[in-house]
Amino acid sequence: MSYTVGDGMVTLALAAGFIGYLYMKLLSRQKRLEIIHQERMAAMEKGIPLPEFPLETEREPRRDPLVLPILGMVLFTLSIGTMIVLYVNLPTDSHRFWITPLPFTFLGVGFITFHFLKANPWR
């Protein structure tokens, strides 16, 4: 497989974008810590006590109740579509391979079933 100069440029652009994002995130964190430090120093000069707080707030993971059924529907429909395409387009001697995406079909049906068998899925 031969790669072109454009492929290399795309790879470098993606890497540069990722590194730039991490750099900007680091700069914003440093700026926030600097502002907090200045506020605390001004409060100490005025004699105002400040409560201690963690620098990084612990975020509670969000649990969206619609992730499982959406993922289940995507897996189910894509695998059913893939099975139909394989069955129609494969030569006659290879027709047995149309069931290859069947595990993904079962996984999608399992996700949808699990969602609806939970006690209260939208809570």
pLDDT for residue 120 is more than 70: no
End-to-end CA distance of the chain: 51
Residue type present at position 28: S
75 and 53 in a common domain: no
Q: Both 49 and 81 in a single domain?
A: no
Q: Mark whether 39 and 71 lie in a shared domain.
A: no
> Which structural domain, as residue segments, surrounds residue 4?
1-58
Confidence grade of residue 43 (pLDDT, cut at 50, 70, 90): confident
Would 122 be classed as within a structural domain? no
Report the number of distinct structural domains present in the chain. 2
Same domain, 4 and 54: yes
Question: Helix 67-89 crosses helix 102-117 at what angle (to 10 degrees)?
Answer: 150
- The reply to whether 5 and 53 lie within a common domain is yes
91 and 50 within one domain: no
User: Are both 54 and 71 inside the same structural domain?
Assistant: no
The pLDDT tens digits for 1-37 are 788 999 999 999 999 999 999 999 999 999 988 888 8
Burial 1-30, CB ≥16 within 10 A → b, else e: eeeeeeeeeeeeeeeeeeeeeeeeeeeeee
What is the reported pLDDT for 79? Answer: 96
Q: How many residues does the chain have?
A: 123
22, two tokens: 């991490």
DSSP state of 122: T
Mind listing the pLDDT tens digit for each residue in 55-107? 666 677 777 888 889 999 999 999 999 999 999 998 988 888 999 999 999 99
The pTM of the whole model exceeds 0.75 = no
